[in-house]
Structures are given as structure tokens and as C-alpha cells.
């Protein structure tokens, strides 16, 4: 089952409350504690699909995707209903082989009031900080890049919610989403990841996706065009 209100926004916002059949889900708490196999498998899969020239490119793209899922599963319900799932890492199960919504299922039912402080505690501190540490165990990626991914993922979730609210004539949802995102960005780890802190967000670092053979620039990329081989070292 998926949470119906948030699922209506899109796949990234959907969160299963029962395990998908034949899943290989593991609690994210185990990944954060040092169980490397799920994250390694995810990065390997992304590297193969994108034909990534460096492992750190695949690690960044994998991190960005999971960060987007985590922000969306909190911010979506918060904006739509005024509450959001608590998402404890030991009850949030992840299958790295699957895409949304089947990649995540939640085995706990607790919900929390939709305040930016609560969302920050749950997503930023409860998931993104230990996720970054897990990514570092796989290989070197700068904290600036990883927090840039987190900021980009938050802005992307906001953009989807604002678009949904416009299409469904729900200015209340748009207003709540914008207010929550503005507060979430007002933290040292996220404040300087890009600007403005709204759907027009443009990041100040790069996720490295452009380095893949079929890659290009993301919509919020720091660059106007992909640097050539002689352009020097890019922001990361």
C-alpha cells in the first residue's frame, strides 16, 4: 500500500506501508551502521546503467536519488496533510534494486506534526547525515557535493509540490511547502547549497552527472554548459 495523498504527487512521494513481494529490503539503519552491501549494489547498478566513467559519479547520482526520496516522503505529506511519517531508520526499509515506490517501505505508523524542525530532525539529521557517512565509506566525495545534492533534492521536492498544487488548485499546499522549505534551507549545511530557496533553485556545486556518456546538465546545474576537457576542475 502507498500513502494515497502524497502518492498523488508522484512516485518519489509515495511510501509503501507493506513490503513489496519478493523484495530484498533492509532497514536503512543497518546501512548507516556499516552494512555496505545494499549501497554498494545501488552504486554498482547506477554505474552500469549510466556507464559512469568514475565510481564517484555513480555514487553521487545514487545519493541524489535517495536524498530526493527521503525529502519527498516527508515534505509531501507535511504540505498536504499537516503531518508526516516519522521515518525511523530501523523501520524504513530500502531495496537498492528497485525504483520508487517499491524501493522504500515503512513498517511503523507514527506520524509527526509538520514543522520544519521536526522534518529537519527526521530527514536531515536522522537520514542525510548518516547517509553521507555511508557514501564516504564507499569512496571519496566532498561534503560540499553531498550537501549540494541534498539541497537540490529538497528544491526538487518543493518544485514538484508547487506544480501539483497549481494543477490541483491547492494554494494552501503550495504555501505550506514553500514555508517549510524556506525554514529547512535556513541551516548552515543547506543555506549555501544554491539559491533562491524556491522552485527556481540553482545549485552551487555539481552532481557530476554530465560526465556520463549520455549525461547532460541538470535543470538546476551550476553550469550553463558542460565544461570541455580543458576547462579545468569543476565545482564539486
Q: State pLDDT tens for residues 18-68.
A: 888 877 899 999 999 999 999 999 999 999 999 999 999 999 999 999 999
pLDDT one-digit tens code per residue, 4-31: 678 889 999 999 988 888 778 999 999 9
pLDDT per position as a tens digit, 128-157: 999 999 999 999 999 999 999 999 999 999
Q: What is the pLDDT of residues 165-207, one digit of tens each?
A: 999 999 999 999 999 999 999 999 999 999 999 999 999 999 9
Evaluate if residue 228 carries a pLDDT over 70.
no
- How much is the pTM? 0.92
For the chain, the three-class secondary structure string (H helix, E strand, C coil) is: CECHHHHCCCHHHCCECCCCCCCCCEEHHHHHHCCCHHHHHHHHHHHHHHCCCCHHHHHHHHHHHHHHHHHHHHHHHHHHHCEEECCCCCCEEECCCCCCCCCEEECCCCEEECCHHHHHHHHHHHHHHHHHHHHHHHCCCCHHHHHHHHHHHHHHHHHHHHHHHHHCCCHHHHHHHHHHHHHHHCCHHHHCCEECCCCCCEECCCCCHHHCCCCCCCCCCCCCCCCCCCCCCCCC
The confidence score (pLDDT) of residue 9 equals: 93
pLDDT score recorded for residue 233: 44
Amino acid at each position: 500500500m502507498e500513502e494515497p495523498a502524497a502518492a498523488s504527487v508522484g512516485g518519489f512521494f509515495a511510501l509503501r506501508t507493506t513490503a513489496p513481494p519478493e523484495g530484498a529490503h533492509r532497514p536503512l539503519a543497518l546501512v548507516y551502521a556499516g552494512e555496505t552491501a545494499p549501497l554498494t549494489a545501488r552504486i554498482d547498478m547506477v554505474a552500469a546503467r549510466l556507464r559512469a566513467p568514475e565510481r564517484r559519479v555513480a555514487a553521487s547520482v545514487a545519493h541524489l536519488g535517495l536524498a530526493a526520496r527521503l525529502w519527498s516522503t516527508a515534505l509531501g505529506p507535511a504540505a498536504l496533510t499537516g503531518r508526516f511519517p516519522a521515518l525511523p531508520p530501523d523501520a524504513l526499509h530500502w531495496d537498492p534494486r528497485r525504483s520508487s515506490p517499491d524501493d522504500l517501505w515503512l513498517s511503523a505508523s507514527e506520524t509527526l506534526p509538520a514543522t520544519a524542525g521536526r522534518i529537519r530532525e527526521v530527514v536531515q539529521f536522522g537520514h542525510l547525515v548518516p547517509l553521507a557517512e555511508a557514501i564516504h565509506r564507499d569512496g571519496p566525495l566532498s561534503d560540499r557535493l553531498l550537501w549540494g545534492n541534498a539541497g537540490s533534492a529538497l528544491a526538487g521536492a518543493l518544485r514538484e509540490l508547487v506544480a501539483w498544487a497549481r494543477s490541483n488548485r491547492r494554494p494552501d499546499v503550495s504555501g505550506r511547502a514553500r514555508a517549510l522549505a524556506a525554514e529547512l534551507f535556513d541551516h548552515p549545511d543547506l543555506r549555501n547549497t544554491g539559491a533562491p530557496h524556491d522552485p527556481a533553485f540553482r545549485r552551487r556545486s555539481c552532481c557530476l552527472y554530465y560526465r556520463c556518456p549520455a549525461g547532460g546538465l541538470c535543470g538546476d546545474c551550476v553550469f550553463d554548459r558542460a565544461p570541455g576537457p580543458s576547462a579545468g576542475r569543476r565545482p564539486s
